[in-house]
Structure 1
Amino acid sequence: MENPALPSTEAFVDLTLLNGGSMVGSKHLLHAGDSPADFRLYNWAFLIQHPSSNRRVLWDVGMTSKEDDYPPVITKKFIGPHHVAGPVESLAEQIKRRREIDAEEIDTVVMSHAHFDHCRPVKREFKNAKVLFGPGTAEHCSPGHLEDPTSMWDGRIFDPRQGTENWDTLTGPWVKFGAFDEAMDFFGDQSFWIMKSPGHMPGNLSACVRLNGGEWSHSELLDGTKEPATLSLPDGTTFSLHADLPTAKETISRIQTMERDLKVHISLAHDADWMLEEKDEVLLQLLDEPFKSDMRRALPHHLPF
């Protein structure tokens, strides 16, 4: 990998961290060597506001407690058994209270990937938003559950004949950005970059934004501080949360380069440790006082909020 660099720009976006709900997960499914202890796995979404164009973009939509927000396979396997809980305050309510932006003003939702804890139909909540996925997502997730009832992928999105959602695939242009070979300058002013981040599943994306203070902040699923888990199954096969584990490790390496060499601040999709410790000033500035109050009440006891 050649020496990476970040572009020089004065452009920035305003970023708001949103509560995207939670579920009960098992540590040994995430990291090799961890115990099988259960814990509450939190999820985050981000509101990205572009001051010069007045664009309002959501990054991921997290989870809800409504069974009809998911295909039946997901409802049966996850919603009840894993105690999936949407946030007490919906994403639309959070955005309205904190930024005085109505749900109808959200113009785009970018899904980091199509797993149910990040992605679901949004037409009811954000009726004017167009949903965008990374290349390869549609091919991997079709057919959805309306055409194939055994599918874990939502047919309202991925079934061509019966789908109801307004969505498309990001087409680039894809250029080098930092440690990533394929990235898209979303607003055209180098303030918000979307990177192809393969390995977790086809179409997986991460993002990097420049904040008003000049900091670069990178949002991802993984940080690479522990080895991803691989479990042996009774039938002799193995299981990993990552569709392509070697490629996922390569993506992790690129993220580490962004943090180590380019001083990009990394924020992880499911990490709550920084909230418990309250030492990460970059991320804490993305929260308001009600959010902090709720997290102080809930996180030490592994409760939804």
Structure 2
Amino acid sequence: MGSSGLFQVDGGKTVSVSIIDTTSRIGNVPLELLVTPPIPDFSRLGAVPSWSFLIEHESSGKKALFDLGIPPDWQNMSPAISTFPGWDISAQKNTIDILEANGISGSQINSIIWSHWHWDHLGDPSTFPPTTDLVVGPGFKQAFLPGFPVNKKSPVRESDFAGRNLREIDFSITKLLAGKFHAFDFFGDGSFYLLDTPGHAIGHLCGLARTTNSPDTFIMMGGDLCHHSGEMRPSPHLPLPSDNQLHEIWQRFSATAIHPCPGAVLAQLQHSRGRDVDIPFYDPAMGHDIDIAIDTIKKAQEADSDDNIWFVFAHDDSLFDTVDLFPAKANAWKEKGWGSTTKWAFLKDFKTGLLQGAN
């Protein structure tokens, strides 16, 4: 399907995809809560988003949302959700408000898909009519129903699914595979798949949308499969770029010169932390089952190495000022170079080491 040949998905139709800025921002988060081992002089996240994706099935007219970001009243969510001392959290709008401001009513949304049940992805489904299904991953109902306040320990609210169809995906009834992931063909025509991506949270899902044919290209909606691109890259399938490429990447987001041999600096950064140069800078530090989460990341690295697949996780700040957001469509992402532009942009976070000896 792509240049790597590692990640295979049978042919199918396409869907239209838009990336929605939910206005959610999460900042000043200690990296040690999310990833390990630490990197010197990079200890906290800046203000990162929580993207939502609008998937439109053209032949049927059906529309689905993948994640909703943070609701503006996030302080009123279930008290079972952890407190966030020192974090900078904000959300100006509900996702439905953004849709309606652009001519899409809640009644036109057939499904809301939660990548998982964590607070910064849930939004407020109660703002959508009861005709909108809520789709969740395996094990969700057993783990979290009933919701708050009936079950005071549940992290989700009863109001999220009251009066609507709560649909739990059962991957055991399908033999479909996308790469090494169990897959569910959401519209039945190969245009959009839900992927079973366990480890980070009970029922964690990714989305895989076919955005063009000839060639087949895809957007992989990563949820919290990672919290930083350094958990995905580099990999045995996707080595660090050459020094010349690293200089070109750096110039896209900084006017400051970097070390004349940035590849050697990054290799030393890996070795100093007991890591090889062909594995990611980080492992996940947060998750329901870290070992399974790492195995899921390794499977996803096959897709990430394919230049016909654009992997976008929920909090990927590389999209800012780079891609066209909703109401624009993202289907021409490869033609516009968004995948290649954003893939290594995370290296800006390691600027202290890269700036050494630049002048």
Give the TM interval when normalised to the shorter protein: 0.7 to 0.9
- Is residue 84 of structure 2 the alignment partner of residue 82 of structure 1? no
Show structure 1 runs of 5+ residues with no match.
231-240, 279-283, 290-305
| TM-score under structure 1 length normalisation | 0.76
SS of residue in 1 equivalent to 2:304: helix
Which residue matches 1:208?
208
Deviations 1:155-207 (A, max 9, x none): 4458xxxx555412123543333323410011011000000000001100001
Which residue matches 1:268?
313
For 1:148 and 1:112, the matched residues in 2 are separated by 22
Deviations 1:195-235 (A, max 9, x none): 000000110000100114642111103252332343xxxxx
SS of residue in 2 equivalent to 1:37: coil
Q: CA deviation at 1:70?
A: 1.0
Show structure 2 runs of 5+ residues with no match.
234-280, 329-359
Match of 2:104 among 85, 101, 115: 101
For 1:8 and 1:67, the matched residues in 2 are separated by 40
Q: CA 1:16–1:119 in 2, change beyond 3 Å: closer, same or farther? A: same
- Is residue 246 of structure 2 the alignment partner of residue 247 of structure 1? no
Deviations 1:92-121 (A, max 9, x none): 2322344x2211211110111011111144
Match of 1:37 among 32, 44, 69: 44
Q: How many residues align?
A: 263
SS of residue in 1 equivalent to 2:70: coil
Match of 1:14 among 13, 16, 19: 16
For 1:171 and 1:57, the matched residues in 2 are separated by 18
> Does the 8 A contact of 1:130 with 1:168 survive in 2?
yes
Aligned residues with identical type, % of pairs = 21
SS of residue in 2 equivalent to 1:65: coil
| TM-score under structure 2 length normalisation | 0.66
For 2:10 and 2:199, the matched residues in 1 are separated by 26
Deviations 1:9-65 (A, max 9, x none): 2x1111111112122222222221144325223100011100000001111111022
For 2:62 and 2:47, the matched residues in 1 are separated by 33
Residue type of the alignment partner of 1:258: A
SS of residue in 2 equivalent to 1:42: coil
Q: CA deviation at 1:142?
A: 3.6
Q: CA deviation at 1:138?
A: 1.7
Match of 1:53 among 60, 83, 95: 60
For 1:69 and 1:105, the matched residues in 2 are separated by 27
> Does the 8 A contact of 2:30 with 2:45 survive in 1?
yes
Q: CA 1:96–1:138 in 2, change beyond 3 Å: closer, same or farther? A: same
For 1:167 and 1:69, the matched residues in 2 are separated by 22
Name the one with the larger strand percent.
1
Which one has the largest radius of gyration? Answer: 2
> Does the 8 A contact of 1:14 with 1:212 survive in 2?
no
State the superposition RMSD in angstroms: 2.7
Matched ranges for 1:19-168 at <5 A: 19-20=21-22, 21-24=24-27, 25-32=29-36, 33-34=38-39, 35-67=42-74, 70-74=77-81, 77-78=83-84, 82-86=87-91, 88-98=92-102, 100-157=103-160, 163=162, 166-168=165-167
> Does the 8 A contact of 1:122 with 1:165 survive in 2?
no
Matched ranges for 1:222-261 at <5 A: 222=226, 223=229, 224-225=232-233, 226-230=281-285, 241-261=286-306
